[in-house]
Amino acid sequence: MLWHAVFPKDPLKGALMARTLYCLLLPRFNMYSLMNIIEAPRIANYLSPAPLYVVEHISFDGQEISASNKMTVRCAPPPERLERNDMLFVVGSWGAERYANPKLFSWLRVQARRGVAICSVEQGAYLLARAGLLGHKKATTHWSYIAGFQEQFPDIEISEQLFTEGGQITCCSGSTAGLDLMLKLIREDHGEALAGEISNQVMHHPVRSGRDPQRKTLGRGLERLGADVRAAIEIIEANIADPLSVPEIAEQVGLSQRQLERQFNKSVGCSIVQFG
């Protein structure tokens, strides 16, 4: 489950107050990744009798930030402190792996200590790593940067999946994975019916799990397997030199050993031990 908001009520109107989503933009961010984050909340507001989300664009790098496609977004300076019900998206792409701003890193740590939900988008994961927010958490970034990320941060577990969740910290690989992530967020905040209607509006079916792979595994046939079985195979292949036990694999996948073994046998046609 994503870091869930507890929506306060407007004391004058008795209605739920909108949740603020802050998008922290880095120079040369990916506009397509940003659009996939902010479009679902916009549609949620359109479909609802009262606004459910407020989207704010902020930056440490000036009032107008240019995306990699040269389009610009007007940004405000970051507030000193975000509220605990807010959510912060750190949106970076080209050059984010070299971005260094101690004030930004310090500010991120302040928000994390306040309990704010923080999500990296695409190469925004580099900033969370440099701020020290990814320790003991599974992370992801765009598949084309995973090898470079591992080289810079060998102690951080990284997976080529759509998005990862670890308490208040989420990592999204970018592009259309952002839409899957936001539909999950809206479903958890406001229910399946609203999320389903947004999915219909943008013609996005089926909505993918965070565990789904970023790329089609052509030639291996893994795309036909369920997310849990694919996750187990990824774990097995990532630990060939020092194999994990079946209970350890099941724990990482989030299933009981019996559940995982049953799914694995049914999907792959052999036991986990035989596969490994």
Q: What is the pLDDT of residues 92-121, one digit of tens each?
A: 998 899 998 999 999 999 999 999 999 999
Mean pLDDT of 174-194: 96
Same domain for 237 and 141: no
Strand 72-74 relative to strand 157-158: parallel, antiparallel, unpaired?
Answer: unpaired
The answer to whether residue 255 sits within a structural domain is: yes
At 52-65, the pLDDT tens digits run: 999 999 999 989 99
Confidence of residue 218 (pLDDT cuts 50, 70, 90): very low
Mean of pLDDT over the chain? 89
My answer on whether 128 and 253 are in the same domain is no
**Which of the given ranges, 60-64, 150-154, 177-181, has the highest pLDDT on average?**
177-181
Which pLDDT score is estimated for 103? 95
CATH of the domain at 268: 1.10.10.60
Q: Where is pLDDT greater, at 38 or 221? A: 38
Which tops the pLDDT comparison, 24 or 242? Answer: 24
58 and 175 fall within a common domain: yes
Tokens standing for residue 201: 């509006």
Domain finish residue from 172, 201, 230: 201
Q: How much is the pLDDT for 219?
A: 42
If asked whether residues 127 and 234 sit together in one domain, one would say no
Q: What is the pTM of this model?
A: 0.77
Domain-embedded: residue 253: yes
Identity of the amino acid at 181: L
Is residue 251 pLDDT above 80, yes or no?
A: yes
**Cα–Cα distance measured from residue 261 to residue 40, given in angstroms and rounded to the nearest whole number:** 37
71-96 residue pLDDT tens:
999 999 999 999 999 999 999 998 89
What is the distance, to the nearest Å, from the Cα of residue 26 to the centroid of all Cα atoms in its chain? Answer: 17
Number of Cβ within 10 Å of residue 73's Cβ equals: 17
Q: pLDDT at residue 36 above 80?
A: yes
Answer whether residue 213 is part of any domain: no
Cα(77)–Cα(234) distance, integer angstroms: 41
Share above pLDDT 70 across residues of the chain, in percent, rounded to a whole number: 90
Does 27 have pLDDT greater than 80?
yes
Residues 236 and 180 in one domain: no
How many CA atoms within 13 Å lie on the side-chain side of 140? 24
32-36, 179-183, 205-209: least confident range = 205-209
Pick from 82, 90, 73, 86: nearest CA to 7: 86
Pair 162, 208: CB distance under 8 Å:
yes
The pLDDT confidence band at residue 1, using thresholds 50, 70 and 90, is low
9 domain residue, yes or no: no
Residues 189 and 228 in one domain: no
Number of structural domains the chain divides into: 2
Strands (DSSP E) contained in the chain are 19-25, 53-58, 64-66, 72-74, 87-92, 117-122, 138-139, 157-158, 163-166, 169-172
Range with the poorest average pLDDT among 40-54, 121-135, 150-164, 258-272? 258-272
The tokens describing 143, both together, are 């598949």
Cα 57 to Cα 75: distance, rounded to the nearest angstrom: 5
Least confident of 40-49, 52-61, 126-135, 152-161: 152-161
In order, the DSSP letters of 157-192 are: EE--BSEEEETTEEEE--TTHHHHHHHHHHHHHH-H
